[in-house]
Amino acid sequence: MIKNFIISGSGGQGILSIGTVLANIFMLGNKYVTYCPCYGAEMRGGAVNCEINMSDEELLTLQNEKADFVIALNQTSFDKFISKVKEGGTIIVNSSMAKIEKTRKDIKYIFAPFTQEAIKLGNIKIANSIALGVLSKILGNLTVENVKKAYEKILKNKKELIQKNLDAYLLGYDYIQEKEYA
Amino acid sequence: MNEKNLLKGNIAIAKAALECGCSCYFGYPITPQTDIGEYLSLEMQKRNLAYVCAESEIGAINMALGAASSGEKVMTSSSSCAVALMQETLSYAASDELPIVLVNVMRAGPGQGYIFPSQGDYNQATIGGGNGDYKTIVLSPSSIQECIDLTYKSFHLAQKYKNPTILLVDGLLGQMAEPAIITENPYPEIDNSNWRLDGAKNRTSRKIHSLEPNQNKLNKHILKLYQKYQIIEQNEPDWEEYLCNDAEIILTAFGTMARSVKAVCNFFREKGIKMGVYRPITLYPFPYKRLRELSINAKHIIDIEMNMGQMLRDVRLSVLSNSQISFIGKPVGDWLKKEEIINTINTIIKEQYASI
């Protein structure tokens, strides 16, 4: 089974970092995975996104029209990628930086104030990890062990951030238990 | 070593180059291949190897020519419009018989184009833009693992045949990441002590240059080069066949395009249509012979590329003169989607074979 993901936001929100973490989690779970960053003349504050594809079989299609899951960490990316969610797919939106608005009936919405939650944890930059935690909860089959290993791989030069990001991830993971994801 | 890691194509190429003993790198930054130079700038310094960020691409390839003359394992990397600048020196290196590895991570052209991915440099690589009768070996990977394997092979073939070799990479592959393993370099070292310029102490002096004012000698030199090219064409064609044995329709594609094309093939196979995919891995020497054999039973060949039909010419030269050939292509940007290709093939099939 193939699953496609788009992670989007603005430069500086850790979009590509969290994309790499997710791709590593899949790799550590012995899945086939491809990770394509949107590259270009991007800068802090500019639009950034990446596409991740995961499968049990060899991945043949690298760039897809639509995704099963979209994470949008700001208003611009919410507006831009809402149309890219597959019918029956899910969009996870950072309600601290985007208006709660449900324009489509054929997809699932999850709104959570990732930026505010990250500030509560003491670091605005880990909003991305909270969002990844929410996504993990929905996917259901990622082991915490692999998540930890993935963070250790990505943050091997910034070891002090590993635990903070894991805490944020776990907060996200438990977040929608309370809010009920339907 | 032998650990699976999520690697970007550019980084995979740089790591593989170090692994197989690249001792000199010269380059100038250009998207989408700048990661190669960036990575090597740190790593080569650590290993006490030669790294120069040149003043231009012309500088870089000529430094590579000089280092290759002295027997170093040398690599340069660039992209499309800047590889165009290097053509003169490729012709010199082919005549001088120097093993230079050039990585071209393709972007969109013509002219300066932009940084969108594309496969528009097939002709530039396989036919070449330098003067005179010469050929460059060209390899085309379709996955990150192949970026590694074919980097090893590029160095090997360059050394084996003393010929410039191009690793032609889609911009998409340079930037994308996939799990891959930095395997051990499977190729043996090739002794170059009988030609390299390493000081003439205790031996007669040597010279490497392409200038030859004696026309008999120049003719002889070019004929010798062409004997070498014949051996390359005999021994080195490499390709991948996917479900081709009973195929009535054969799709041809190179690089990452071949992956979506395989997905298209699977779609039609499920519908009972006998389809196969033929992917040349060496673009020069192009694997003509096998495609010609396959075209005897195939009703139709459909070539699919992210350009306006450059490999199409080689496909035409491969197949029987009465083969039906169609082309599906797009110049630059987002890769042709599986669905787009399927729709176009459906139209082609309907037009040609109302019965299917």
**pTM of the predicted model over 0.80:** yes
Per residue in A137-160, pLDDT (tens digit) is 999 878 889 999 999 999 998 989
Any B CB within 8 A of A59 CB = yes
pLDDT in tens, B180-237: 999 999 999 999 999 999 999 999 999 999 999 999 999 999 999 999 999 999 999 9
Q: Where are the domains of chain A?
A: 3-179
Residue % of chain B over a pLDDT of 70:
99
- Residue A22: band (very low, low, confident or very high) from pLDDT cuts 50, 70, 90: very high
Asked if residue B192 is part of any domain, the answer here is no
Identify the burial level of B181 via C-beta atoms within 10 angstroms of its C-beta, where 0-12 means exposed, 13-18 middle and 19 or more buried: middle
A21 chain-B contacts, CB cut-off 8 A: none
| Cross-chain residue pair A60–B177, CB shorter than 8 Å | no
Average pLDDT rounded to a whole number, residues B245-253: 96
Task: Assess if residue B198 is contained within a domain.
Answer: no
Asked whether the predicted pLDDT for residue B342 surpasses 60, the reply is: yes
Query: Considering the domain boundaries, does residue B118 fall inside one?
Result: yes
Mean pLDDT of chain B, nearest integer: 95
**Three-class SS of residue B40?**
helix
Asked if the structure places residue B202 within a domain, the reply is no
- What single string gives the DSSP state of each residue in A77-142? HHHHHGGGEEEEEEEEEETTTS------SSSEEEEE-HHHHHHHTT-GGGHHHHHHHHHHHHH---
Q: Report helix, strand and coil shares of chain B as percent, to nearest 5.
A: 40, 20, 35
Please indicate if any CB of chain B lies within 8 Å of the CB of A118: no
Residue B268 pLDDT exceeds 90: yes
Strand A47-55 vs strand A3-10: parallel, antiparallel, or unpaired? antiparallel
Residue B11: φ, ψ to 5°: -70, -40
Residue of chain B whose alpha carbon sits nearest to that of A57: B263
B128 contacts B135 by C-beta, under 8 angstroms: yes
The encoded tokens of residue A150 equal 């993935």
On whether both B216 and B312 belong to a single domain, the answer is no
Q: Give residue A182's pLDDT.
A: 46
Shared-domain flag, residues B87 and B213: yes
Give the CATH number for residue B98. 3.40.50.970
A162 or A46, which is more confident? A162
Q: Which fold has domain A3-179?
A: Pyruvate-ferredoxin Oxidoreductase; domain 3 (3.40.920)
Question: Any idea which of A76-85, A126-135, B23-32, B343-352 has the lowest mean pLDDT?
Answer: B343-352
Taking CB atoms and an 8 Å limit, are A65 and B4 in contact across chains?
no
Q: Calculate Rg over the CA atoms of chain B.
A: 21
Same domain, B254 and B326: yes
CB pairs under 8 A between A and B: 56
B177 and A23 within 8 Å at the Cβ level: the answer is yes
Give the long-range contacts of residues A101-109, CB within 8 A, separation 24 or more. Answer: A108/A181, A108/A182
Q: Min CA distance, A70 vs chain B (Å)?
A: 19
| Residue B159: half-sphere exposure toward Cβ, Cα within 13 Å | 24
Best probe of the A interface among B5, B6, B105, by most A CBs < 10 A, is B6
The alpha carbon of residue A50 is apart from the nearest alpha carbon of chain B, in Å, by 10
DSSP assignment letter at B333: S
| CB-based contact, A35 to chain B, within 8 Å | yes
Within this chain, do residues B252 and B179 fall inside the same structural domain, yes or no?
no
Nearest to B178 among A34, A61, A64 (CB): A34
Q: Is B117 part of any domain?
A: yes
Q: Which residues contact B163 (CB under 8 A, 6 or more apart)?
A: B94, B97, B98, B99, B135, B136, B137, B157, B228, B232
B227 and B259 housed in the same domain: no
CA distance A52 to chain B (A): 9
Q: What's the rounded mean pLDDT across residues A106-131?
A: 95
Q: How far B29 CA lies from chain A's nearest CA (Å)?
A: 14
- Closest in B4, B266, B335 to A62, CB measured: B335
Cβ distance B146 to B10 under 8 Å? no
Residues B218 and B286 both lie in one domain? no
Can you tell me the ipTM of this complex? 0.89
Structure tokens at B186: 């499977």
Domain count, chain B: 2
A140: left (phi over 0), alpha (psi -120 to 50) or beta: left
Give me B73's structure tokens: 């394992």
pLDDT digits (tens, 9 = 90+) for A31-90: 999 999 875 555 556 789 999 999 999 999 888 889 999 999 999 999 999 999 999 999
Give every strand in the sheet of B324-329, ordered side by side. Answer: B239-242, B275-280, B249-252, B300-305, B324-329
**By the 8 A CB rule, do B102 and B77 touch?**
yes
* Structural domain span for residue B327: 240-352
Collect all residues of chain B within an 8 Å Cβ-Cβ radius of residue A39.
31-32, 115, 175
**CA–CA separation, A52 and A26 (whole Å):** 10
B172 and B259 together in one domain: no
Tell me how close the Cα of A160 comes to any Cα of chain B, in angstroms: 22
